[in-house]
Structure 1
Amino acid sequence: MKKMIRYYLLFLPLILFTSCSKDEVNKYYERPDSLEDPIYQQLVARGNFTSLTALIEKAGYKDILGKSGYWTMIAPNDAAFAEFFQEQGYANAAAVEDTTAVKIVKYALIYNAFRTERMSDYQSPAGWMEDMAFKRRTAYYVGYEENVSVGSGNKVLIQSNRNNAEGSIPYVSGDNNNKHISYFMDEFMTANGLGASDYNYFYPDANYMGFNVLDAEVINADIVAENGIIHESNKVLLPLPSLDKKLQESPNYSLFRELLEEHLVEYPVNQDATTAYFNYTGKTDEVLLKTYDPALIFSPNNENYLKSDDNDAQTDGYTLFVPNNTVLQTFIDEVLLKNYTSLNQLPKYVFEDFFNAHMVQNSVWPSKAAGFSNALEEDIRIDLNADIDIDPVTQKKNAQILSNGFFYGTNKIQESNLFYSVYTSAYLDPEFTLATRLFNDGSGYKEIISNIYSNYTLFLPSDTVLGELGFDYDINRTEWVYVDINGNEVRGTLARNRLLRVLFNGIVPTPNGELDDLSGSGIIRSGDVDLAGEYIKWENNQLWTAGNDELGNRVNLKIDASTGQPRYEEQSNGRTYYIDNLLQPAENFPGAVLQTLATQPGSEFEYFYNYLNNSPIFDNTVGSIDGVELGTSYTFIIPNNAAIEQAVLDGVLPGDPTVGSAADVIEEEQIATFLKYHIIATRTASDDGLVNGLSETLLKTELGEKTYVNIASAPGDLIFTDNGNRLASFIPAQSNNLANRTLIHLVDNYLLYTE
């Protein structure tokens, strides 16, 4: 019975409905009287949009805008069209070509309906994000371009609608690459720290009113229609070009475009676009897809921004800084072609780096330029006032907001680290490909020496020098190779690590140009300011490390034949010298160097060494000391003979360094304690002010605790202090002796660790 009732209740409305008359049904579904007219009818009824409605009809959009839908229309009034007709030479709307009518109407149409309170909000996947948007997607797109000159003939072309990053697809079928239109509202500008000056930078003749669309003013907002929202404007807007098209239209920047097109643009056939073109037109032409090199941070023809979210172009765009032909030609002649005879000889990565230096994957607002970085993660080094071209016709800055980004025409090259630092000496010279390869392979050296805010001296070996000394790169196996003087070969990581150490010895921080004159003599630490390398010495234009001492050779600066002086190259962050040998790493233990110093006639190292040589912590056959490891940094503090004699008198050391019987175990430990306390572990200190403060020694207490010596270093002075405040000053003439990551100093007093 309940089942029958349920069926009755289900069919009751249907019975009632079918019993109604046809008039009653029509009345039920008729359009409510309270609903506003659609956009087209609204424009007609208002009476001041006659030119716009005429173009809507001409463009074939009367039916679309006269029915359902969901649009925002930026609607120029008749006064705006009167000005437009006069500027463009049209008598009236009837004289406007159909193609132009389509451009005007479709570019004025924004997908979805937005009142002013939502125009500045971003339609994110997570919902509305307030005051983050200044662009919207329009109904206008270019689509297929026919009879475009590509290579040897005219082709059908379509533009990328995605960035061509590694692993991505530069073209997605069904995406029309619709153009966006920019607008400027108080809410967005205030929330992003922008103001009228940012707007007027691009539109100096326009009045910023708090709601502008490009250089047009919205004079009557939020006109509600059945199928959307109308915002009345005082200017007719034509679709803006993309950054790609802007380059095509700008003869003053043609050299920039030529380099880009020749080296980083390709035109492959796209089968999806070819099929769609055939289905649309019935024509069998192959469609070429214009794609930019994957290494570029963005594709200038992509209208979609990143497309990580469907609407992310509402919030941001690209920026392209484009140097004019004059300054670019000078850069080519003086920088790019300094060591090459033609641009075609340059490696592809040079072009990739150059263009990325001028590209920013964000909208660089004039007042906020200092907060942006280019694709190489460098700050923007172009002054957006002084370095922007002035158009000779308009006498205005050549800076434009385009459909997919900001364009700045410049009279200056972005002074990229890669082209103006000591790194450039190797990077732009075919004689130094091995060094460049290592700099670039994740070693971190490139980042060090290309930092134009820190000064360096670079000692640079050529491919020839590296090859003669056993280094090479096996391209087939993508690995480094090293063959020593005995013919022993190592590959891969071991070979790379050796070359890393060699090249690191040639990187020297010189904030005050300390190595601009190498005709004298001195000592200096290589490496980075934060990552210490080894010490190198120089005298009369020759250099050496502890490794060179072991091998009995020196490194010579290559001589410029025209001047007879050392050959070098000045860069914005220092100087590059060219060398005929390598600053070699040492292979022996530091104790072996001390042994050599101590066994010379009349040596002041002798007495200390006698205790070391007779101690079980020392192996005099190889020079090893317990606790001293190859490849680790140390500082040896060696009391001179008089200081050792005083230590004996003070009872700190036994009078006889030869301890051999079991009864002498206490004295043996006493000597070992003394010796280890004079070796600083993990740090190499010199009289250059680079190392100061408490430093760990080789000595550990009975409980295994570390012991420390204080270092006070200043130019020309080096003092060591024990934990009892005893001072030992280095003796300059016999100090700074080079060993394996170690300096050996002679001092005038001994140090004593006390409990």
Structure 2
Amino acid sequence: MNKKILLILSFYFIAIVFASCSKKEFDEYYGRPENLEEPVYQILREKGNFSMLLQTIDKAGYADILGKSGYWTMFAPNDEAFNAFLQEKGFSSIDDIDSTLAGQIVKYGLIYNAFRTERLPDYQSSGGWVENAAFKRRTAYYDGFKTQNIDGQERVVIGSNRNNTDGTNYYVSGDNNNKYITYFADEFLNARGYGAYDYNFFYPNNTLSPLNIMQAQAIDTNIVAENGIIHETDKVLLPPKNLDDYISQTSQYSLFYQLLGDNLVTYVRNEEASNSYYNFTGNTDDVYIKVYDQALPFSPTNENFLKEMDNDGQANGYTIFAPENAVFQEFINEVLLKNYPSLDQLPKYIYEDLYNAHMWPNSVWPSRFQATVNGLEEEPRFDFDSEIIDAQQLSNGFFYGTNKVQPSNYFYSVYTSPYLDPAYTLMTRLLNDPDGYRNLISNINRRWTLFMMSDEVLRNLGYDYNIDRSEWVYESPENGNIVTGNIAKQRALRILYNHIVLTPNDELDNLSGSGIIRTGDNELPGEYIKYDNNTVYAAGNEVLGNVVNITGSETQNNGIVYFTDNLLEFSEEAPGLDLKRLAEEPNSGYDYFFRYLENSQFYNPDGSTISIVTLGSRYTFIIPDNDAIQQAVDDGVLPATDTGAPNFSPSEFEGQEQVANFIRFHIIADRIISDDGKVTGQYSTLLKDELGNATFLDFETSPGSLTVTDENERVANFIPSASNNLADRSLIHLIDNYLSFTE
């Protein structure tokens, strides 16, 4: 016999002998340990009070899965729970539960991975366990494909399983969008400051226990099986709808959903989803993804929360507040359609803001609702005890039905007046620009006055927006010169800011008198405007010789809005020209100072410009009156002339640097100061000392009073009747003394 064959047979014989001799030892080593628990299915059978659950598992086709493999947590309703469920549904026996309903019961009660009660409150973050931060777990249940009528056509639809934050990543193939189950564990509630109020807000007829799974109580926990953990419950749970399904299928909110679906939902054919549908059903129909607008904070179809980390849905969810039809219709009639003829005329951004105002990208708990903000960064503005008419814990978030519309800043502030009026689209575009002031004037906690700028007025005065080129355009009505892009936009924004006034005490509610007021707010001060007998005007209006007439008004929650026939325009002439005109007025008190100015080293008579003053920058001119100038001459602070200060001619005096320093010391840089009490303190002049450091004057202001003090304790008061003169981003005051600086 061949030696090789003989060798093989010898080894074969030895193996048989070894196997027969060591079978006992082999089984002892590799066999199933005697103390190992049975799988979930067998444990349920051994317990004896899960007979109906076992029949349901059989119908769902999960007997093999739960009887062998996996690693599960199962919330297992006992027979008593099933009896109550059958009675509630009107079923005569367990036989009335079909395979579809059985699948819902079984798969929604199954959580991936095995969790004892001490782990259920902990969040499985990518960085490790976060204790007492979780109140949900992903289940084995998901909805899958649905057939819906979309625009009159039957379509196979599946919901997006991601939030559409970038317009493209709204669906990930292979993710079944599994539903989450919500539970209430003592450890989580105590750690987060929640309690029975939060639970009973959703389940008013149930009692909070150490562990509640939705409306069920866990009555026997941590039952160990080979392939998981079982928690016995006293109720049969069905998978709840997600937020999208609930609002789309609940007639009480049909109007809220209709506007949402008509304006912020699209259906996009998806190749991967179509292939999956074909592999699953053999059907070749196209599958469409239900996609929510990317301007919204989340997609109500998405069961995965943010998915920034795989399990972040364990620790948070979404919230929607939806007004019932009657109050929503009232809001439509009184607010949305106050100036628009129909809903289809509303710009898309209005719908985006409206639904952002009702959507929270986080879980809004009833007892801690004020700590959360919506898609517009506003807190919920509801009385939870009287204005919430429906509270639901859904698979991907909380739902609150309301008997009022969220009083959002954008719909109940002075911003609302241009925002919801098609006659003011250019003004709204400016306000909505990233460099605009939408958030400023829509702040419901501050009082504002807003002067309106209609499209007609803006266009008549040269301002427009080129849609095709996405840029602002300005054409001068005086000379026809055209500027475009950022230059035109910044010009329009400066005009706009003249029309926004912070009025914490409703200072402009009555314009029948006269006065002066600063535009903008305290953080971003604007220019000054004046009002007189229901007209208003800015520095540019004085130059152009016109005023702005008030043609109407309306009151919003945070202030008053005035409709006008003109723009509050800024001045484009040099302040030197304003000073010249003031000096030319009879007995103005400005002429002595101006004579020194026009003969100084930095005055250009051709354009009445002052070289040390930049057009468009902020200044306050504090001009000593004639008597003060004469005193400065007498004191040697200003050089005298051959003929005396009041009558000198150009170049009749010596000491140009002395004059230049005097002028610089009476101009405040980068600050507009009036007698309104808004600005008090030490502010720098245009004069630098011999080391190049700024020099300062002290200002004390209050309504009707402005006092200036120099370092020598010399005090000057402004003369009200000759002060508060408007100029380019400046005010010009007449004071009763001169101020001096000592090197």
After TM superposition, the score normalised by the length of structure 2 is: 0.95
Distance in 2 of aligned mates of 1:403 and 1:615:
78
Distance 1:643 1:339 in 2: 57
Q: What's the counterpart of residue 417 of structure 2?
A: 425
**Structure 1 counterpart of 2:92:** 91
Distance in 2 (CA, whole Å) between partners of 1:360 and 1:377 is: 9
Whole-angstrom distance in 1 between the partners of 2:623 and 2:704: 18
Distance 1:708 1:15, change over 3 A: farther
Question: Which runs of structure 2 are paired with 1:415-454 in the superposition (5 Å)?
Answer: 415-454=407-446
AA aligned opposite 2:496: L
Residue equivalent to 1:505: 498
For residues 114 and 613 of structure 2, the distance between their equivalents in structure 1, rounded to whole angstroms, comes to: 75
SS at structure 1 position matched to 2:19: coil
Distance 2:500 2:146 in 1: 53
Gaps of 5+ in 2: 1-10
1:603 match: 588
After TM superposition, the structure 1 = structure 2 runs for residues 539-550 of structure 1, keeping only pairs within 5 Å, are 539-550=532-543
Distance in 1, matches of 2:713 and 2:266, equals 72
The residue type paired with residue 536 of structure 1 is I
Kindly provide the CA deviation profile for residues 229-275 of structure 1, in whole angstroms up to 9, marking residues without a partner as x.
Answer: 00111111111110111113321111101111111112222222222
Matched-pair contact (CA < 8 Å) for 1:644–1:750: yes
CA contact (8 A) 2:588 2:722 kept: no
- Distance in 2 of aligned mates of 1:585 and 1:617: 24
SS in structure 1 of the partner of residue 573 of structure 2? coil
Q: Is the 8 A contact 1:730 1:747 kept in 2?
A: yes
Cα-to-partner distance string for 1:439-468 (whole Å, 9 max, x where unaligned): 112113111111111111111111111111
Q: Helix, strand or coil: the match of 1:19?
A: helix
Q: Which amino acid aligns with 1:554?
A: V
> What SS does the aligned partner of 2:495 have?
helix
Q: Per-residue deviation at 1:17? A: 9.7
The correspondence for 2:521, drawn from 522, 528, 534, is: 528
| 1:695 correspondence with 2:699 | no
The letter of the residue matching 1:19 is F
Number of the residue aligned with 2:5: none
Equivalent position of 1:621 in the other structure: 606
For residues 18 and 572 of structure 1, the distance between their equivalents in structure 2, rounded to whole angstroms, comes to 95
Aligned to 1:268, the other structure's residue is in SS state strand
AA aligned opposite 1:424: T
Aligned equivalent of 1:5: none
Select the residue among 707, 713, 717 that pairs with 1:729. Answer: 717
Residue pair 1:633, 1:683 contacting (<8 A) in 2 also: yes
TM-superposed deviation, 1:551: 1.7
1:157, 1:699 → 2: CA distance? 73
Q: Deviation of residue 652 (structure 1)? A: 2.2
**SS of residue matched to 2:695:** strand
1:119 corresponds to 2:120: yes
Tell me the distance in 2 between the aligned counterparts of 1:409 and 1:195. 21
CA shift digits 1:651-698 (9 cap, x unpaired):
322332559889x65x32222222221111111111111110001111
The question of whether the paired residues in 1 share the 8 Å contact of 2:430 and 2:436 is answered with no
Q: Deviations over 1:123-178 (max 9, x none)?
A: 122222222111101111111123x2222133322111111222432222111111
Report the counterpart of residue 631 of structure 2 in structure 1: 646
Give the residue type in structure 2 aligned to 1:744: I
The answer (yes or no) to whether the contact 2:602–2:610 under 8 Å persists in 1 is yes
**Equivalents in 2 of 1:448, 1:69: separation in Å?**
56
Cα distance, 1:533 vs structure 2 = 0.9
Matched-pair identity in %:
56
Question: Where has structure 1 moved over 4 Å in runs of 4 or more?
Answer: 14-18, 657-662
SS at match of 1:744: strand
* Cα distance between partner residues in 2 of 1:361 and 1:69: 33
Aligned counterparts of 2:428 and 2:569: Cα–Cα separation in 1? 19
Per the TM alignment, residue 18 of structure 1 is displaced from its structure 2 partner at its CA by: 8.2
Distance 2:564 2:719 in 1: 32
SS of the residue corresponding to residue 461 of structure 1 reads coil
- Measure, in 2, the Cα distance between the counterparts of 1:467 and 1:734: 36
**1:635 equivalent in structure 2:** 620
RMSD value, Cα? 1.9
Please say if 1:387 is aligned against 2:387.
yes
* Match of residue 738 from structure 2: 750
**Is the CA contact 1:70–1:113 (under 8 Å) kept in the aligned structure 2?**
yes
Aligned to 1:189: 189
- Does the aligned pair in 2 maintain the 1:548–1:554 contact within 8 Å? yes
Counterpart Cα distance in 2 of 1:101 and 1:489: 73
In structure 1, distance between residues paired with 2:446 and 2:237 = 48
Cα distance per residue 1:558-582 (max 9 Å; x no partner): 3xxxxxxxx1121111122122222
CA displacement 1:160-215 (0-9 Å, x = unmatched): 11112224322221111111001111221122222222112211222211211111
SS class of match (2:388): coil
State the 1:225 CA deviation: 0.2
**Aligned pair in 2 of structure 1 residues 747, 278: CA closer, same or farther (>3 Å)?**
same
Q: Residues of 2 paired with 1:496 and 1:724: CA distance?
A: 46
Whole-Å separation in 2 of the counterparts to 1:721 and 1:598: 24
Which residue of structure 2 aligns with residue 133 of structure 1? 134
Post-superposition Cα deviations, 1:278-327, rounded to whole Å, max 9, x if no partner, equal 22112222222222112111111111111111111111100000011111
1:578-593 alignment, distance < 5 Å: 578-593=563-578
Distance 1:716 1:237, change over 3 A: same
Alignment of 1:100 with 2:101, yes or no, is: yes
**2:681 aligned with 1:681, yes or no?**
no
Cα offsets for 1:408-435 (capped at 9, x unmatched): 0011111111111111111111111111
Deviations 1:464-520 (A, max 9, x none): 111111111111111111111211111111111111111111111111111122222
Q: Report what 2:7 is aligned to.
A: none
Which residues of 2 match residues 120-199 of structure 1 at below 5 A? 120-146=121-147, 148-199=148-199
Contact 1:659 1:668 in 2 (8 A): no
State the AA in 2 paired with 1:282. Answer: G
